[in-house]
Chain A
Amino acid sequence: MTDAWTPLAELTLTTSESDVVFSSIGGSYRDLVVVTNIDGSAQTELFIRFNGDTGSYVSLRLQGAGGTAAANTHSGNGMRLVGNGDIKTDFTFNSVIHIFDYASTSVHKHVLSRTNSSQGLDLCTGRWVNTSAITSVTLYPATGTFETGSTFQLWGLNTA
C-alpha cells in the first residue's frame, strides 16, 4: 500500500497568484488528493472549481473556531471548502482535499476536505453537480492572492 498515492504535480509559488490550476490530469487513477500549505494576502475563504466550470457546486461545513462549533452550507459557482476567515496571512492554512471518482462520466463529483489554520479547523463535504470527468482543478481564494512560498501538491490514488 505504500505506493497507493502517486505524486502528479507540485508547485511552490515564487510570486503571488490569484489562483493555482492543475491541468492535463490523466484519467488513470481512482481518486485525486490535493495537499496545500497556504499563506494568503487576506483573511478569506478557499474555493475549488473543476474543468474551469462556473456551474453548480454545493458544500456542507463543520467548523471549530475558538470555543465554538458551527455547521452551515454553501452553494454557488465554486465549491467553498472553508468558511469565512479560514485562509490566514500567517502561513498556517493547511488542507487535504480528497476528490472521489474524478474520472467517472456517470456520477457527480464528491469532495471531502480537512483544513486547519490559526483561525480554526473545518471538515467539508462538497459536490460538483456535473458528471464530466475532471481534467483540471482550480484553487482560488475568495479575495486576494496566494502568497509566495505557498505550496500545492496533487496526488493520484490507486485502488487496484
Chain B
Amino acid sequence: MGVEYSIMKKTLIERIDVDSSGESNVVFSSISQEYDGLLLICSVRNDSTNLTFDIHPNGSSADRTRTTIQGSGAAATAATGTDITPLQDSSAYTANTFASTSVFIPNYTGSQTKGFSIESVTENDATTSYQRLQAGLWSNANAITSLELSTASLFAEHSSFTLYGVSAGSDGSTSVA
C-alpha cells in the first residue's frame, strides 16, 4: 500500500534532507490546513543502533498510542505502546541502505482523534530485517499544524523526509450518498 500512497494525487509541501552533520529531530511546521490528508514519505538511517524514530504531532508526546504487527525475517509479533514509531535503519545495517516508510494521516484538520497509517521496512543484507504495519493514534482535538520527527541519536546523512498534502474532490459524474 505504500507504493499506492506514493502515486496518490498530492501536493508537495516540503522535503527535508539531512546533511553530513546529522539531525536529532526534523520538524514540518506551519502545515497548511487546506488538504484532506497528509502523506509523509521517509528514507531513514541513524548513527546508532536504534531501529525506530518517533512522530510527535504538534510537538507533543502526549495522547499517543499505537498497535503494531511486525516481521523480523524470522518471526511475527504484535505489540502496543504509547508512541508512534516507524522504523529506521541501524548504523550496523548494510552500508548505504535506508529504511523506507509511508505515513498516511487522513482528516488531520478535524477535531477527532487523528489516525496514522504506517507501513515501514528496514533494509539489511542479512536475515534480520524488519517489516512493520502500525496503527498510530493521537487522541487530541487540535488540528495537526506541525509534525516533529525525532530519534534518540542522530538521523544520518542522506536521510530524507517528504511531506505531501492529499486532496480529494469530484469528477462531476460519479455520485455518492
Contacts and interface: CB of A to CB of B under 8 A. Distances in A.
Interface of A: 1-11, 20-26, 33, 35-37, 39, 62, 64-69, 90-94, 96, 98, 112, 114, 116-118, 120-121, 123, 149, 151-157
B175 A22 contact: yes
B133 A118 contact: no
18 contacts: A3-B9, A4-B7, A7-B171, A23-B175, A23-B176, A23-B177, A33-B4, A66-B78, A69-B69, A69-B76, A90-B112, A112-B1, A114-B1, A121-B133, A149-B112, A153-B36, A154-B176, A155-B8
Of B80, B113, B134, chain A has the most CB atoms within 10 Å of the CB of: B113
A156 B37 CA distance: 17
Interface string B85-101: 00000000000000000
Nearest 10 A/B pairs, CB to CB = A91-B112, A7-B169, A116-B135, A64-B69, A121-B135, A153-B168, A69-B78, A5-B9, A8-B174, A94-B115
A149 B135 contact: no
Contacts of A120: 67, 135
Interface residues of B, number: 44
For the complex, would chain A's binding face be called helix, strand, loop or mixed by DSSP majority? strand
Of A1, A26, A114, A154, chain B has the most CB atoms within 10 Å of the CB of: A114
Contacts of A69: 69, 76-78
Nearest to B65: A118
A149 B110 CA distance: 9
B21 interface: no
Contacts of A117: 115, 135
B168 A10 contact: yes
B115 A37 contact: yes
Nearest to B1: A114
A64 B68 contact: yes
B174 A123 contact: no
Contacts of A149: 110, 112
Given A2-B9, A66-B80, A96-B4, A151 B106 contact: yes
B126 interface: no
Given A2-B9, A92-B115, A112-B1, A8 B171 contact: yes
A11 B175 CA distance: 9
B79 interface: yes
A158 to B, nearest CB: 9
B175 A9 contact: yes
B20 interface: no
Contact of B7 (A1, A23, A96, A118): A1
A153 B174 CA distance: 11
Given A10-B168, A149-B110, A94 B69 contact: no
Given A69-B76, A96-B104, A10 B36 contact: yes
Nearest to B119: A114
Interface string B119-149: 1000000000000011111000000000000
B35 to A, nearest CB: 12
A121 B120 CA distance: 14
B58 interface: no
Given A2-B10, A37-B106, A64 B168 contact: no
